[in-house]
Amino acid sequence: MNARVAVCCALLLVAVPAGEAQVVRHFVVRTAASSNNQTFTFEDESSLTPAKRLSTFDAGAYAELFPTTHFSLILGAEYQLRGVGTAVEYFSYQYLERVRRERKIGYIAVPLLLKYRAEGETVTPYVLSGPYLGCPVLDSYGESVSSDSWVVGATIGGGMEIHGLLPTTMMVDVRYMHDLTDTYQIWEDGVDVKGNAFDFGIGVAF
């Protein structure tokens, strides 16, 4: 686990130049309310019961780099808890009975996003999109177990920068994140699971 955290932090640190105002537009501390879900791919789709969404909070920070008139690049690190609100039930061919599966995984996610801004005096709308890499640092599946999976996904979203309301710029945005690789697999039953989440975030720039 410590090695994964170190790798994620290193990706962030080596890519952010220090002390170059023309390279770093600003740093942002962000927190978000998150609505998470998981999609189960299973041979017998009819036996799956629907899962309820899991509500959590995310927290992290990012740097906005290489600004031009309208574009900039976002590189950050954020803790996210993925999972479902209730266990999913299906018929297991391994155990020849209906089983309930639930797993929550905490990630350090490292997004790399392209941001487009429509400059304004008080409000600056923006859209952003790009990939992220998630490394698991917390894994709970009944008993606590270790997860060796790294997740690659994509983010799309939009929001606004608000100037003048606070001594510094405030960010408000909505993001949708979708895992492109399996969040995890239930090997004994041949079940593949992918996560997705809606984030409703607020941040403060420095």
Q: Are 197 and 174 in contact (CB under 8 A)?
A: no
| Higher local confidence (pLDDT), 66 or 14 | 66
Model pLDDT for residues 17-32, shown as the tens digit of each residue: 444 446 999 999 999 9
Model pLDDT for residues 72-116, shown as the tens digit of each residue: 999 999 999 888 888 889 888 878 888 888 888 888 999 999 999
Q: Are 117 and 156 in contact (CB under 8 A)?
A: no
In terms of DSSP bridges, do strands 104-117 and 123-141 run parallel, antiparallel, or are they unpaired? antiparallel
